[in-house]
Structure 1
């Protein structure tokens, strides 16, 4: 057992839990988007912004403990003002460790104003066997906002010979546009869903990617990208593109989502793909 994992399990048993909150605000300042509001409580913060492509503000979320245990609660709020452009990612995979019975909670609230764009592109979340995760994503888009976001989940650690024979992950998405709910989903994954044909059928990685606004042109481009590839799918609902995937490895699924991102970013954000430098380290 690694020292990090042993420490996490000890923390969960001793009821020493983290409650962390992070609030971010983005606004245009001259030719760039600035991080004008940054407030945090507990071990959740960001690095200084990066500008690898000019005006778009790239921000990396940091969670210094390195993982989440039962009883931990993380809350992230980001607001993007009119005409601002922001990209939020993480320097490494998120980790939710084995639970003694309680849940770890993560709540993300994103608000994007008219003329603004937000790209929410965290690296994958690893849910260890026996972990219990409850995650909610609430996205409030103005009528003329632009958004690209994904969530990639890895259940167990197949490279370490670990499946997902116990534990659970509950994922909720709520997306509204101009104050009207346009998409709502609640997904519960446990050991049965992990193995079942109607569930993940043994695939350790699953994910969803959202794009707004999208048209039939973007839908057709992603359908062509998918071709006959198994365990990939895409649909368009009221201007919201929804792309899903299953895979044996989270990095392969992320690679697929990156290709979709490359197809749609120019039309949605108005810029060619510029991958965050942290992904290459």
Structure 2
């Protein structure tokens, strides 16, 4: 397999070895590198191993590069290992999403993993906006997202989870989701969190309180005006909350339906995007299909 690249080795850090030995499940790795050239952001580096790739970029709003990550198996089972590394060079702007919901299926004991690394250079922007992730009852998974920001880099990202399948009367009575987020700016931690969701956390009042959908949205830099606007959007609605840690806005939600929670996050995105990246919201067309 030959790398598809215009940047050579300069962007080749992050996933050290693309040639991974076969394990009991699928092993898949994806490297993406974005650069600002010819007046727009281009997908200048693309390299993959296993069933993880991208479609050609789309440009529905001029110079911003919209990319859809594809996972052809359609879901992740115990023993699968997915790794995604995205790097945005100076002045580039990439929006990364998925064409459908991700799925982690029931496991007999083996753990599935998904690791995401996002590196954003000076004056660059990345929006990490995958569609929701469905975690089946009995799934065993570990997921982590690590974001590294330069001093004036910009980032908007979310994670929307649906535990069990409430439409099929399936809760989350067994299984484990070990989830982590790390956001750094110039090696200084802005946000560090690890969340372990099992049957007890799913049902407990200190946990999800039986709500099947939960999610978090991040935006940086975000102003006090954005915080106030999101607070006004939330009003007295239960299961919604927002705060601001320095210039990092953190918005959370609980709901009985993941589509309703995602609709809320899209509204929040529409509020914070003009402030954070100086562009109005432009939803990827795949979201409408």
Q: TM-score, length-normalised on structure 1?
A: 0.94
Deviation at 1:209, TM superposition (A): 0.3
Matched, 1:212 2:188: no
Q: Partners of 2:281 and 2:224 in 1: how far apart?
A: 21
Which of 89, 93, 113 is the matching residue for 1:81?
Answer: 89
Give 1:188's aligned residue. Answer: 196
Matched, 1:176 2:187: no
Q: Partners of 1:173 and 1:238 in 2: how far apart?
A: 17
Matched, 1:44 2:52: yes
Matched, 1:102 2:77: no
Pairwise CA RMSD? 0.8
Q: Partners of 1:219 and 1:267 in 2: how far apart?
A: 11
Cα deviation digits, residues 135-160 of structure 1 (max 9, x gap)? 00100011100100000010000011
Cα deviation digits, residues 61-80 of structure 1 (max 9, x gap)? 00000000001000000000
Unaligned runs of at least 5 residues, structure 1 = 1-14
Q: TM-score, length-normalised on structure 2?
A: 0.91
Q: Partners of 2:144 and 2:275 in 1: how far apart?
A: 28
Cα deviation digits, residues 64-108 of structure 1 (max 9, x gap)? 000000010000000001100100000000000000011100000
Unaligned runs of at least 5 residues, structure 2 = 1-22
Flag as ranges the 4+ runs of structure 1 deviating above 6 A: none
Matched, 1:149 2:160: no
Give 1:33's aligned residue. Answer: 41
Q: Partners of 1:114 and 1:265 in 2: how far apart?
A: 18
Q: Partners of 1:210 and 1:103 in 2: how far apart?
A: 27
Q: Partners of 1:168 and 1:92 in 2: how far apart?
A: 23
Residues paired across the two proteins, number:
267
